[in-house]
Structures are given as C-alpha cells and as structure tokens.
Amino acid sequence: MAKPKKSALGGGVNALFQNKTVIEEVKKEVSESVVLINITDIEPGDGQPRKYFDKEKIQQLADSIREHGLIQPIVVSKEGDSYRIIAGERRWRAARVAGLKQIPAIEKNVSRREVLELALIENIQREDLNPIEEAEAYQRLIDEYKMTQEKLSEVVGKSRPFITNKMRLLVLDKDVRLMIIKGDISEGHGRTLLALNDKDNQLVAANLIVENGYSVRQTEELVKKLNKPKKVAVQDNFSDTSFIEVKKIQNDLKNALGTKVKLVDNNGKGKIIIDYFSADERERLIQYLTEKR
C-alpha cells in the first residue's frame, strides 16, 4: 500500500490551521497519496460530530456515485487491521449503498487525538453539520482539548459571539434539540425558546411551532404570552397559554400510557380520549388503569 506523505499535523490541530484548511491539506496530497481500500475494512471515526445522516441525501449521493464514481477520496487513519474515517463518512455510507467494494482514500499517519480534532473541525469548515451538531463539536473541543473560546474562534474562523450563541442551543430540552437536528424547527426558533421562563414549556411550544407553522416572530409572541403570570393570561379554549397546558398534560399521559392521548378541555371540564390499535393493547391499557385505581 502506498504511504501517504507526512502531513503538517505534528504540532496538532493548531499547526495545521496556521496556513491552510483541512480541505486544502487534503487536496495537496490527493495526487500522490490516494489508495484503494476495501470498504469493509473501514469504520466510522468515533470523533465524528455528525449524528444525523439524511437517508434521502445518502441515496442521492449513492446514485451519483454509481453513475460517475467517487470523485473525492475520503480521509482515513490506520488502526490495527482496519481504518478509521477522519473525513468523508457521508461519502463512505453512500459508497456502501452504491455497492462499491473498494473506495479511494487518503491515509494520514496521525495520533488518535488528531483524528478527533480533524474530524470535528473538518465538518465545521465544510458546514456539513446541523446547528446542534456544530454546537456539540464546539463544546467537545473546549471540554476535551481545553481550547478557550478565543482559540476556538481562531481555529474555526468564527467569531466568539457566533460560537457562544451556537453553544447556547445545548441548553434546550433534548427533544427540542432533536427537532432542530431533523429540521422540524429552525435554529432561530430554538434560540427564541431559550427565553421561556419554564423550561418544561420548551417541547410543547416547539410542537406548537410545527403544528401552526409559526415564524420566528410569531414564536417570540408566543414566548411572551407563556412568560406572563397565569393570573394575567387569558383563560379560554383558544389562548396559546391554555392550549400549551393541555398539550403538557397530553404529553404526560402519552408517556405514562405508551399510546396516543387526546385531551378535550373546556374550562376545566372535558374528556380524555385514549387510542389503542389492537385487542392486546386495549387489554394492556385496561390492566394498567385498573391497577392504578
């Protein structure tokens, strides 16, 4: 197997970023370091900040690879008899879907720490990450590699306020963060929800955003209403405040019963509708409710 040219990583990630980006470093080595590696000998890197891969986009890339081949090699590091991906996991996943047996790769002789650093920063530079993954990558660089926000700002080419605002998203409810990852709500919606006095309202408010198609401006108005003292809030069936309280109860019942629940409320009176989808599930619910008496 051809040996890659020694890279400028001896001094760690800071040395690499003094003069060039990861992408420029890779391009420099492509002509002399590309090797073909069995796709089954390659594993995802544990430093990969991306947690969510869009299946439709993977399929689209796989279709392109079948037609045109894989134009840009992935970057790997040798570990024992296998290889760890530094950059290009999406391409590797698509190549597997496309049925490739081998994949072009650039092998870098770097330490495990440098593998993690490169995987995190390369993804940030490519803007391949969703807002939550990017925030988690910043947090990991600070926690594991003891980077200050000032140094991190220099390394990734982002301002300190940009990094600070991005990392604030990690304070959101985990289910709200997942909604941002999936694209159900935007980063702007998420930042607006941070202003809620009661963190328990975040998920229910996020569901309201999806159900009603609220813009960020409309979400700001919703947050203002929810932050008002209850004695000031309008208590009718159509107020956002009462609706969000009903939604919270529905979520609690759904989690307790393990099935869809609808709560119809009219000024404290109403009914609870519990869905079941089989005779077995009906018996399970009856038994659960009977035991709770």
Domains along the sequence of the chain with CATH: 1-112 (3.90.1530.30)
User: Does residue 89 have an active-site annotation?
Assistant: yes
Q: Looking at residue 10, what is its pLDDT? A: 37
How far is residue 175's CA from residue 259's CA, in Å, rounded to a whole number?
Answer: 18
Q: List the one residue out of 235, 208, 203, 236 whose CA is nearest residue 221.
A: 208
Q: What is the mean pLDDT of residues 198-205?
A: 87
DSSP bridge pairs for 85: 76
Among residues 25, 29, 89, 245, which one is catalytic? 89
Q: Which residue has the tokens 């307790």?
A: 256
Q: What is the mean pLDDT of residues 179-207?
A: 92
Poorest-confidence range of 136-150, 156-170, 212-226?
136-150
Predicted TM-score (pTM) above 0.75: no
Neighbours of 248 (CB within 10 A): 16
In tens, the pLDDT along 23-58 reads 455 555 444 478 899 999 998 877 666 667 778 888
Q: Which two tokens stand for residue 146?
A: 């003891």
In tens, the pLDDT along 127-146 reads 678 899 889 988 988 888 78
In tens, the pLDDT along 273-288 reads 888 888 888 888 888 8
User: Is 60 exceeded by the pLDDT of residue 19?
Assistant: no
More confident residue, 256 or 14: 256
